[in-house]
Amino acid sequence: MTTDDTELVRILDEDGAVVEGADVPDLDDETLLGIYRDMRLTREFDRKAISIQRQGRLGTFASAAGHEGAQVGSTYALADDDWILYQYREHGAVVVRDLDSSYLEYWMGHERGNAALADDNVFPLNITIADHIPHGVGMAWASKLKGEEKAFVVHFGDGATSEGDFHEGLNFAGVFDTPTVFFCNNNQWAISVPAERQTASATFAQKAEAYGFEGVRVDGMDPLAVYAVTRDAVEKAKSPEEDELRPTLIEAVMYRYGAHTTADDPTVYRDEAEVERWKQRDPIRRFEAYLEGTGRLDAERAAAIEAEIEERVAAIVEAAEDAERNPAEMFDDAYAELPDELRTQREAFLSLLDEYGDEAFLRDH
Ligand SMILES: Cc1ncc(C[n+]2csc(CCOP(=O)(O)OP(=O)(O)O)c2C)c(N)n1
Ligand SMILES: [Mg+2]
């Protein structure tokens, strides 16, 4: 695994200045400020989620801090009817697509939040590593056969590239030329396994070559660079040139600032100095410096955005905690028609709820 940055696509340097010769995407001020706001919203959502998890008000949570540039930048490059299939850490993609309290309800253990994502063309969250990659390829293939012009962006981690599903998915995508964008969030760690123990390849992006399509390595903490490479990949997925294949593998190089999840303690396997080194590339700080330097943002506007975000996240938490609970929803959505065995279980469960009353049941079980 290379630690060399020279082949990274980059538009902003670590201080937020445009890199010499870089092709800055032509985005209007509203869009640029939207990217900034959504990255900050992602970070605040993350901070708040961890805080309420520590108070016993949320289940296990996977932090996205450090990933905001990759998640928000890539999702801004999509049309509303393009699909996103994600792993579990890409809250920034959900933020762009329409974050509401139901998403937090999922992390509180209620399936409704997961099911609601489909309304925004987001496939349910996927904890079984790499399982959703073949799904993303299959959906993309079906869409192409139907004559649609949609892209399917599949997010996964560096660790996911060691799974059979990754290789099966990419191979199929190349052979059947599906409109799939494979977005590898190389955050340097798969729980406690470092990227250099994940592969002997020099980069994750180069794995695309074996499947016959393009691989791109981008600075995943530079939202403009991520936007640009994703926009190009999506364009190619929808209308490739004659000699091009539709799929692309994007390796977004970034860092997971926090623990793997709230159930993990990274101090036992990694050095705090490494975390601090990567924070020098922080996507929010860099982008803020860019916006300030180009006269699009000042301290007053940034403070107003911060206040708006804090209020919004507080409202999301309140609504998620106040939402009506229906534990029988765990039987919905996995099957169009429940198999007999699950139907029996559902009936038994409903009669238990009936017997106890919802509140007493939730308290005692
Ligand atoms: C098939 C499968 N094997 C193992 C696990 C346990 N597990 C959960 S997260 C994880 C690491 C994933 O790392 P990576 O793909 O780099 O994603 P990241 O957590 O860094 O975002 C593992 C091994 C799992 N969820 N699914
Ligand atoms: Mg990882």
260 is catalytic: yes
Span 57-67, pLDDT tens digits: 999 999 999 99
Res 293 pLDDT > 90: yes
**Nearest ligand 1 atom, CA 158:** 16
How far apart are the C-alpha atoms of 74 and 240, rounded to whole Å?
A: 19
Nearest CA to ligand 1 atom 4: 129
With bands split at pLDDT 50, 70 and 90, how would you rate the model's confidence at 324? confident
Average pLDDT over residues 4-9: 79
For ligand 1, whether the C-beta of 266 sits within 6 Å is no
0.85 cut: is pTM over it? yes
Evaluate whether 257 touches 65 at the Cβ level (below 8 Å): yes
Average pLDDT over residues 324-341: 88
**Nearest ligand 1 atom, CA 190:** 13
Interacting residues of 331 by C-beta distance below 8 A, sequence separation 6+: 338, 342, 345, 346, 349
pLDDT of residue 172: 98
The boundaries of every CATH 3.40.50.970 domain in the chain are: 5-322
Res 238 pLDDT > 70: yes
Evaluate whether 250 touches 182 at the Cβ level (below 8 Å): yes
How far apart are the C-alpha atoms of 182 and 250, rounded to whole Å?
A: 6
In the CATH hierarchy, which fold is given to the domain comprising 5-322?
A: Rossmann fold (3.40.50)
State percent of the chain over pLDDT 90.
Answer: 87
Res 148 pLDDT > 80: yes
Q: What is the mean pLDDT of the chain?
A: 95
Span 26-58, pLDDT tens digits: 999 999 999 999 999 999 999 999 999 999 999
Res 247 pLDDT > 90: yes
CA distance between the termini of the chain: 48
- In the reported structure, the alpha carbon of residue 160 is separated from the centroid of ligand 1 by a whole-number distance in angstroms of 7
For ligand 1, whether the C-beta of 24 sits within 6 Å is no
